[in-house]
């Protein structure tokens, strides 16, 4: 394997991408709300119910999907995977740009 630390970092980032195959785009949102039942403890405005949502920009429009409590932890984890993907992709493209600029500069010196 190459001794180039940037190539090694790029390789590690690319190998980690396979673990991200379950990622979801968007934002995971937890809201607190009243259910509207007058006898419910949430009617006091302090003991509100948790409501979980996934907000996604799709075809230029914001779409919001309710997430059942039983799936909230998993959806939150999958949205975080997407954030990790975006960070890894940004780092890979940054490394590729630096390498390309270095190669370009070396070619110009060689002429």
Backbone dihedral angles phi then psi of residue 63, each to the nearest 5 degrees: -115, 140
pTM of this prediction? 0.69
Order of strands across the sheet with 49-58?
27-33, 49-58, 61-67
pLDDT tens-digit map of 25-69: 999 999 999 988 999 998 888 899 999 999 999 999 999 999 999
Q: Which residue has the tokens 């993907």?
A: 85
What's the CA gap between 8 and 27, in Å, rounded?
Answer: 31
- Distance, in Å, from the CA atom of 34 to the CA atom of 48, rounded to the nearest integer, reads 5
Q: Give pLDDT, residue 66.
A: 96
Question: What integer pLDDT is reported at residue 109 of this predicted model?
Answer: 82
85 bridge partner residues: none
């Amino acid at each position: 394997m190459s001794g180039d630390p940037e190539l090694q970092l790029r390789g590690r980032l690319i190998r980690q991408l396979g673990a991200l195959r379950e990622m979801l785009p968007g934002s995971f949102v937890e809201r607190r709300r009243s259910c509207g039942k007058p006898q419910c403890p949430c009617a006091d405005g302090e003991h509100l119910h948790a409501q979980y949502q996934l907000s996604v920009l799709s075809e230029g429009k914001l779409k919001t999907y309710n997430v059942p409590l039983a799936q909230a932890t998993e959806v939150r984890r999958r949205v975080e995977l997407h954030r990790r993907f975006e960070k890894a992709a940004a780092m890979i493209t940054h490394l590729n740009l630096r390498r390309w600029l270095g190669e370009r500069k070396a070619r110009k010196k060689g002429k």
